[in-house]
Every structure is written in C-alpha cells, then in structure tokens.
Amino acid sequence: MQRFIFKNKNKLMVISGVLIALAFISKWASGNLTIFNLALIIASIIGAIPIALQAYQALRVKVISIDLLVTIAVLGAFIIQNFEESAIVTFLFLFGAYLEQRTLNQTRSAIKELVEMAPESALKQMENGEFEEVDVFDVDEGDILLVKTGDKVPVDGTVISGQGNINEASITGEAVPVEKEKDSKVFAGTILENGTIQVLADKVGEDTTFGKIIELVEEAQDSKSEAERFIDKFAKYYTPAVLVIAFIVWLVSKDVELAITILVLGCPGALVIGVPVSNVAGIGNGASHGILLKGSEVIHDFSRTDTIVFDKTGTLTIGNPEVSKTNYYSKDPSNALAYLASIERESGHPLAKAVLDEIGDIEFLPVENTEVVKGGGIIASVDGNRVAVGNIALMKDQGVDLSNKIKEDAKALEIEGNSLVLTAVNGKLELMMGIKDQIREGVKEDLARLKSLGVKNLIMLSGDNQGTVDVVSKELGLTKAHGNMLPEDKSAYVKKLKEEGKIVAFVGDGVNDSPSIALADIGIAMGSGTDVAIETSDVVLMNSDMSRLPHALGLTKATASNMIQNIVIAVGVVIFLLLSVIFSDWMNMSIGMLLHEGSILVVILNGMRLLRYKLR
C-alpha cells in the first residue's frame, strides 16, 4: 500500500489541488459551506497521507523530519477546524516536492546524457570471420570489432584497418571530428561520423574511458561536501528544536494556530536542498565540458586554490619533443648513433622517441647489462662497449671528460630551451643532442585567466635542465620554475608549499607525477595521462586541454558562491517568516507555506544556473 501511495504521490497532489479548486468555486458560486468544508477535508486527508507515511518512515530510523512537522501542523489545523489551511499546506508541500524532484532531475541531466551515450551493442568478428551483432557486455579484450558510419565505438581500442572521422565530444567535450586511421586510438561512446574501421578491443565495459567517466561522475554527484555534512547535522537538531519551540509557544500563548504556523514556517527545506543542488549542477556542468570533478569536497577545496604547480612535459608542453640540433665530437659518429638508437629503443623516456625519429633507419644491436640511473639516464653494454646516455650530471658521474667547448655547446642549447641527451662510448663523449618540446597552443592565455581568477602563484617543476625550464617559464610568465627535479623532489616541494599555508593544486600526466598529485590539496590529471595519475587525482581534464583548467577553477568558484547564496536565501526566508508570525498580523500558515515552498524553488533554480555556466 505504501509503495502504491508513493508511486502515485503526484496524482494525489493533482486530486488534492482539484478538490481545493472545487471547494473555493462552490463557495464563491453558491455560498455552500458544507461542500466547501467537505472538499477541503478530503483534500487535506489525500494530501496528508504520503506526507504522514514519510514522517513515519523517518521516525522508524530515529529521524525527526520536515514531513513530521507538516503532519503535526495538519493535525493541529484539523483540531481547530481550519480545513482551508490544512488543505493548502499539504497541497503546497507536495507541489514543492514535485518541483524539487523535477528540477533536481534536470541538474542531473549531464550524467543522464552520458549514460544514454553508452554503446549497447557491437559488431564482433566470430570464428568464421563474419561480423555479428552482440551485446556490448559480450565483448572481451582482444576481440576484433567492426564500426560503420553513424555507429558508436563500443570499446577503447586500436584501429587495425580502415579510416574515418570520429566525434569525441562524449570524452573531450569537443565536437570537432578527429581523423582516425591504422594504429589510432579510439574510445567507447564516441561516434564514427564517416568511414568504416576495424578495432582491436583494448578495454571493455566499465574499464573503458567512457565507463570510468560515468562511474566518476556518479560517485561525485553522490558525495557530500563539508558544508552538506554540516547542514545535515544542523537539520538533524534544528527540526526537533522547531518542534520544541512550537510546543513552548503553545504552552505560553495557548494559541494553537500560532504554534502550528511556527511548525510549518520553521521547516529548513530550502537549507537542506540548497547546497546539494549547487554541487550536483556544478559537477554536471563540468562533465559536459570534459572536466571530471571527483566530488563535492573537491569543489570546496579547488575554489580556494591560490597556488597551482605544473609539470612541464605533456602538461605545459605538447609532450612530443623533436631534436633541434646535434653536435658531434668524433670523426665517425655512426657507431655511436647505432649504440644510442639501440639503447633508446628499449627506453620509455619521452625523449627516446625524438632521438629515434632523428636517427631514422639503422641496424639495432643487442643491449646488455642495462642500468637506469634515476634522474640521470642509462648505462649499458652494446657490442662490447660501455655506453652512457643521459644528461651532463650522468657524464660527470661516469668520469666523462667535458671540455670547455662541450660545456659551451651545452649552455648554448639550454639557453635556447633544449633538453640535452649526451652519448659517451667507453668514457669518451661522442655526441650531444638538443631536444626541444613545443609549448601547448593557448597555454599562455590560459595561465593569464588563472591569474585573473585569483591564483597568486603559478609554479613549474620539471626533471628537465634548469636552462630549458627557465626558457619555458619566461615565455609563459610563471611565478617560479625549478628544473632537475626528481619525483621525490616535486612531492617534497608540494609538501613545503602546503606547510607554508598555501592551498596547492598540482597538474601532471605521468606516473612520476602521481605522488605530487596525491599529496596536493587538489590533484589535477591530464586525461591523456597514465591511469595511475588519473586514479590518484581529484580533477581530470579529459582531453588534456589546458583551456579546461580555467573553466574548472571558475566553475568551482561559481559553485562555492552559489552554495553560499542558497544558504543565505534559505536562512533569510526562515527568519523573515518567523519574525512575520510574531510581529505582524498578515502572516498565516497558508501564506507562510507558499513563501516556504517558493524559497525551495528559488534555491533550486539558482543552483540550476550553474548548468549554463561559461567562463567569461
């Protein structure tokens, strides 16, 4: 029976409203008070049933809810035979709940749209080589899938044949089609606008980038901020306090109607709903712009950030460095180049690809006894020779002679913003490569926007040499920049900033950034970065677009401000209503309930403004 009543609560509200309208029409048309009172009594009972049941369920778990206050108020109105107010109060309360639920559903539209974008089926290659349509949950890693024009990509995977343009708005927030060909990466939930491709499944189901986005947004919208926890605790004690105050008023004044009116007007409905609706709307806006805010607490902390620390490679720079210059220190560098290429082929360092691209086609040699020197480079045996590849610090540590000319060459390359890769064979320096990364387009403007949003310190930490770091820092107008930083140096620096009282956000993309991301007040990961960095972060920029960062900061500031506005509105209306009851003659229970429900609608609509937020 309870389930039936709750399921049809909106229908009961409509019936109650119709009966109230009929009551007043009959009174104005014929002056028949019997029909007037009967219709209002039935309307009151119909409206009070779901409210009383909710109050009962709350009492079962030892919670004195707003529903209990309204139920007692309706019973009191019946006792004093004020059926007009009891009917209007129940109708307005149900109507307010209906509006609240409807508008809250709209604030959750971002996650709803995401879920609707999720692929449901896939064309999977069977054992006979034919492609058959299967449920997306029947796809496993390693399966080959066919994606046709207009289809959703069902998995995260790699294109093995074909080409086409894919709309990746569900992942990046950008609707501009991205060209895909063999070896390109594709993501679940994106749409192939033209062409036909075959995809090798790398990640399926909840493990896909799209699956993780939905999971993270759902977790974020269900989380509670410090302000919400405080308000929940406040409401827990405030609601019984209103009940006690109303009882005391009745004892002192013997005015039942005044006591009942205080019960109705003291309900903290707008206060309870105001903060959650702001948080949900803010998180929803972020999701629709390719920004994952992992919870309400993140919004609170990020909005107060005064210091942002950046990794350089892959964050402020593109992360696709190229060799700009090579200096040779032997007559025949061919052997050294072969040794260098053989070592770099086995390296995962960002500069290794640039080195291999520069050397081109060459015969690779067996590499033995590889030793990785943290923050320095690699030492290995190649074709019977001891080869050291790395920075100047490694060369000095290995006793490699660095002449004045070599030092001058190194300084000149560093001044131009190059990272250095030196190669020594059997203790003698053979060659030096200067490798340069390009600054991300628009980053300088993005950093200026962050400053305009109140960020006082923009700091760069990099494992690169200080000369390269200084060049990038000067071009971007950073507050500070430190080079030659190991992962532990970066995290120690973040810890130092926090100890100085700064609220620190760290932006990075690699495994080596994870300790700093986890340690910072707000960890921000670039979406193209490693899974570890994304998992340990509080904010994810899904398409690694730095222009999302100012939007994210501006959004959290707007959300935090919106929460305060809603609290002020809610508290202000309650104070106004209670003072009006005590010091005026015009305030009654019906007018008070109308204003009370109006305040709930106002805070919801105010919170919903965040769905349309754009950084100016």
* Buried-exposed string 138-157: b where 16+ CB fall within 10 A, e elsewhere: ebeeebbbbbeeebbbbbbb
- CA-CA distance, 91 to 593, in Å (whole number)? 10
Tokens 């529903």 belong to 67
Tell me which DSSP letter residue 148 carries. -
237 by Cβ neighbours in 10 Å (0-12 / 13-18 / 19+) ranks as exposed
Which amino acid is present at 469?
V
Radius of gyration of the chain (CA): 33
SS3 content of the chain, % helix, strand, coil (to 5): 55, 20, 25
The candidate with the shortest Cα–Cα distance to 93, out of 125, 56, 50, 53, is 50
Which member of 143, 156, 311, 437 is catalytic? 311
Q: Within its chain, how far is the Cα of 345 from the centroid?
A: 37
Tell me whether residue 332 is exposed, middle or buried, using C-beta atoms within 10 angstroms of its C-beta: 0 to 12, 13 to 18, 19 or more.
exposed
Token pair recorded at residue 53:
């049941």
How far separated are the first and last CA of the chain, in Å rounded?
Answer: 52
Neighbour-count burial of 563, counting CB atoms closer than 10 A to its CB (0-12 exposed, 13-18 middle, 19+ buried): buried
Residue 313 DSSP symbol: I
Which DSSP string do the residues of 79-138 spell out, in sequence order? HTT-HHHHHHHHHHHHHHHHHHHHHHHHHTHHHHHHHHHS--EEEEE-TTS-EEEEEGGG
Tokens 């942002």 sit on residue: 308
The strands making up 367-373's β-sheet, listed across from edge to edge, are 322-328, 428-436, 419-425, 385-390, 377-382, 367-373
Residues 415 and 402: their CA atoms lie apart, in Å, by 18
Instruction: Provide the pairing of β-strand 457-461 with 185-186.
Output: unpaired
Q: Report H helices in 477-588.
A: 487-499, 514-519, 531-536, 548-583
Is residue 585 part of the annotated active site? The answer reads no
Given a contact cutoff of 8 angstroms between Cβ atoms, the answer to whether 374 and 486 are in contact is yes
Residue 198 DSSP code: E
Query: Which burial class, exposed, middle or buried, applies to 428 when counting CB atoms under 10 A from its CB (0-12, 13-18, 19+)?
Result: exposed
What's the rounded Cα separation, in Å, for the pair 441 and 546?
9
**CA–CA separation, 73 and 246 (whole Å):** 10
Query: What DSSP designation does 523 have?
Result: E
List Cα–Cα distances, 605 to 102, 286, 355, 602, in angstroms.
Answer: 11, 18, 56, 5
Catalytically annotated residues: 311
